[in-house]
A and B are shown apart, each in its own frame.
Chain A
Amino acid sequence: MIKIYAFVFSLFIASNSLGAFVQNDEAAPDFKLLNSFGEEVSLQNYKGKKVVLEWTNHGCPFVAKHYSTGNMQSTQSFAKENGAIWLSIISSAPGTQGFVSSSEANELTTSRKAIPSHVLFDPDGTVGRIYDAKTTPHMYIIDEQGLLKYQGAIDDAGGRGFMSKNLLEAKNYVKRSLKEMEKGNEITNPITKPYGCSVKYSS
């Protein structure tokens, strides 16, 4: 009988997702965060569009290199050309590296010539933890139906000797995945190892 109860019970939890982490080809968890202009932005608003999530921290040397070489900006503009929404999310807790005020965030966007659709603040790390974002940068791509399609690194430049690699020559996983999604193809590597600094979560 116990098994039969387990049965029924499992049907309930099967409908909920089983853990706190996200999985490819499943619905990307919705979230509402404030952007750098104080407006509320909800993932749900972008149903019907591709969405790229970028976990960021401007003080992290990995992130800094992606911006100083123009690699991140080029990926952003590629995504925009493909009709995708780009959300840069900062999960740094107050007082930790990468935590910025709205004006600092906007200043960073201007000075780095970045073109995210929004810069979002997640100071208590809730959204970061739900998505299991580990590093900055850590990238996610969500398709028009709201399903998670890609999670991992921005490119294959991760690994030892990163600081001396030429990022513009690296294989950009985000661009490639977006291209493959556009063509309706399978994504070649839907999960890659994210690399970079740890996300500075509040403990």
Chain B
Amino acid sequence: MLYFILLSGSSINAESEYSASNSKISLISESKTIQPNDSFYLGIKFELEKGWHTYWENPGDAGEGASIEWSLPKGVSSSNTLWPGPERIPVDPLMTFGYNDEVVLLTKITTQEDIDFPLEIKAKVAWFTCKDICIPQEGNVTILINKGEFSESIEYEEIKKYADRLPIEFYENYRVEKLDQKYFLQSTVENDHFENVYFFPRYYGLTDYVAAQIYEKNENSFSLEINASKTDLDLEKFEGIIEATNSKGVFYFDVNYQLALEKSKEQSLLLLLLFAFLGGLILNIMPCVFPILSIKVLRFIQYSEESSIKTYRFGLSYALGVILSFLLIAFILIGLKSSGEVIGWGFQLQYPLVISVLFYLFIALGFLFMSNLVLGSQLGNLNSLVKVENESLESFLTGILAVIVASPCTAPFMGSAIGFALLQPSFNSVLIFLSLGIGFALPYLILSIKPSLLSFLPKPGPWMETFKQFMAFPMWASALWLLWVLSGQVNTDTLILVLIGGLTVSLSLWLLEKNTSEINWIKWFIRSIAIILIGLSLYILPTSYSLEENISEDSQTYSEQRLNDLRNSNELVFLNFTADWCITCKVNERVALKTRKVKQILEDKNINYLEADWTRKDEKIATKLEEFGRTGVPLYLLYPSVGKPIILPEILTEDILLTYLSEVE
């Protein structure tokens, strides 16, 4: 840690070398003679004791790169410090980037026309020499450059060695996608392929230094998966250098990619909240919800006639039920999101089980409207509460029911809006769901506070019963629609089973309604039959829904037979060879294949989408891949109605894909 002090100002005694503990620096030039209007490399050479290191521009988790301050004669200028590609120097559990044992940091020096020789160039260098501990060091070095033709100095080779390690602009086409706290650097490879690629970030807060990066080499592209930094600063640029290795050596390339900003960030929260609120309001008149609410609201008229009952209590209980349900949904969705599930709203309609249960519910509700059976009153009897409180509880449950029956209606109607809400930070998502709930509960709440708003309606009477019965039809219409959704997911047998379930549900409700026997055992006998029937209807619910089928909603499993059939009838086919473990495939699917526009064009142009899942290395798929000279995925084939298939690039963008799809005939 002791330095000796250089005599400054004395050019004659100036040293080109400086020794400190564990390290030595020297100022070297590729040529000792130079012309005016020229440029050349100067280098600060660090020679460190074995096992010691100094740092790169971004030192990683700890340490600091060297700083070089030049004193230059008039007419001479210097570039910034040029950093050769670094090494990874792990200091468990941390990761640093730097140079072991030796490095030459380069600077490009440019001379103008009018300069005085000899050029005396000085550098003040401050650096850290580190092993398990770090030593800060500082020293001055000087070099004299004379006038003359460029001639390689004895240090020329040394400078060249490090100049070759300076990163150059990456000549391949690449892109960077950020998905779920991971960056995917993907590049085509038109020249020599690489055996391995590693990314060194230029700035803090971009990528995780310690976590391993996963390199995936494809036929003529590669993908590199890099974890985002745990202290993610959401940088707009993906900037750094990549170290790419192949049989010809190690190459360093600059990468600098403008990341696509998530649009959700630019949306003002207030606007989102307003839309959610309006959406909630509109939900009230959707066919799934309107019947239930209108019938409930009609009761207010009755109450207001009796006038002694404060109906606002029911309104408040109802609003509470609605809002709590929406909050619960919000928390479930956020929980799912944080577990890494990729979901949007409408996911509930991807499960036949959920759809079937909703189908039963709508059938049953329709039946209840048609009949005189009142479930709520029975529920009330279970508790020994006074009447008004029964009603409050019932209103609360109505609130929950309203949210449940609203769920299939929200899917097509507000799916994208809610999906958008899920992109927001968790706290905002909760706010959005909350404002959706408030909007949803508000009309009922207002009417409960001021039933006189309904005074334009006729006096209570038989018309209300007629109205109630009529409201069964929108319920059954909703049930029909659910059945249609279900038909896209299960086969006919299962569909028929669900229909039978609907029948048994209706039958059991009818039994309950007609069960007015005074004799206890008969009453209970009929009740148990009804319960058995309901049990049966639940038993036959389709649960055998595998993930493979999950995809089949918009895609179909590949088989040679299916492909040939489609080809023989001159159909357009898009064949996607993919696998769960294939990074490139998954990124392509996220950013291109499964986007709305692509789905639309597949539908519009009647292109049959087939998926060959290579996750378990299926023999038949392997054969098909071999046909196209491939040993792995991804492979995208687009079959025109006649002729050979077009092989699409391995790295897809939405634009590329749309172009191919729109041009194919």
Residues of A within 8 A of B (CB): 1-4, 6-7, 9-11, 13-14, 18-19, 21, 23, 59-62, 96-97, 129, 132, 134-135, 151-152, 158-164, 191, 193, 195-201, 203
A61 near B134: Cβ-Cβ < 8 Å: yes
Q: Which of B67, B130, B335 has the most CB of A within 10 A?
A: B335
B61 near A198: Cβ-Cβ < 8 Å: yes
Residues of B within 8 A of A (CB): 61-67, 69, 91-94, 96, 126, 128, 130, 132-136, 138, 204-205, 230-231, 233, 331-332, 334-336, 338-339, 341, 347, 351, 353, 543, 545, 547
B66 near A59: Cβ-Cβ < 8 Å: no
Q: Which chain B residues lie closer than 8 Å to A164 at the CB level? A: 67, 126, 138
B133 near A160: Cβ-Cβ < 8 Å: no
Query: In the complex, A93 Cα to B439 Cα: how many Å?
Result: 58
B64 near A160: Cβ-Cβ < 8 Å: yes
A2 near B67: Cβ-Cβ < 8 Å: no
A132 near B339: Cβ-Cβ < 8 Å: no
Interchain nearest-CB distance for A71 vs B (Å): 16
B96 near A198: Cβ-Cβ < 8 Å: yes
A10 near B230: Cβ-Cβ < 8 Å: no
Known A-B contacts A97-B133, A198-B61; the reply to A4 vs B335 at CB < 8 A is no
Question: B128, B130, B233, B335: which contacts A11 (Cβ < 8 A)?
Answer: B335
A198 near B62: Cβ-Cβ < 8 Å: yes
Q: Which of B135, B136, B205 has the most CB of A within 10 A?
A: B136
B126 near A163: Cβ-Cβ < 8 Å: yes
Known A-B contacts A10-B338, A10-B339; the reply to A191 vs B231 at CB < 8 A is yes
Query: In the complex, A191 Cα to B138 Cα: how many Å?
Result: 30
A134 near B61: Cβ-Cβ < 8 Å: yes
A61 near B61: Cβ-Cβ < 8 Å: no
Q: Which chain B residues lie closer than 8 Å to A10 at the CB level? A: 335-336, 338-339, 341
Q: Which of B66, B94, B128, B133 has the most CB of A within 10 A?
A: B133
A193 near B543: Cβ-Cβ < 8 Å: no
B62 near A196: Cβ-Cβ < 8 Å: yes
Q: Which chain A residues lie closer than 8 Å to B64 at the CB level? A: 158-160, 162, 195
A-B contact pairs, 23 of them (CB 8 A): A6-B339, A7-B332, A7-B335, A7-B336, A7-B341, A9-B339, A10-B335, A19-B230, A60-B133, A61-B128, A97-B132, A97-B133, A134-B94, A135-B62, A152-B231, A158-B64, A160-B126, A163-B138, A164-B138, A191-B205, A198-B91, A201-B94, A203-B92
Q: Which of B94, B347, B547 has the most CB of A within 10 A?
A: B94
Q: Supply 20 further A-B pairs (C-beta < 8 A) apart from A3-B347, A6-B336.
A: A1-B353, A3-B351, A10-B338, A10-B339, A11-B331, A11-B332, A11-B335, A14-B338, A18-B338, A23-B230, A60-B133, A97-B133, A135-B61, A161-B126, A164-B138, A197-B134, A198-B94, A199-B62, A201-B94, A203-B92
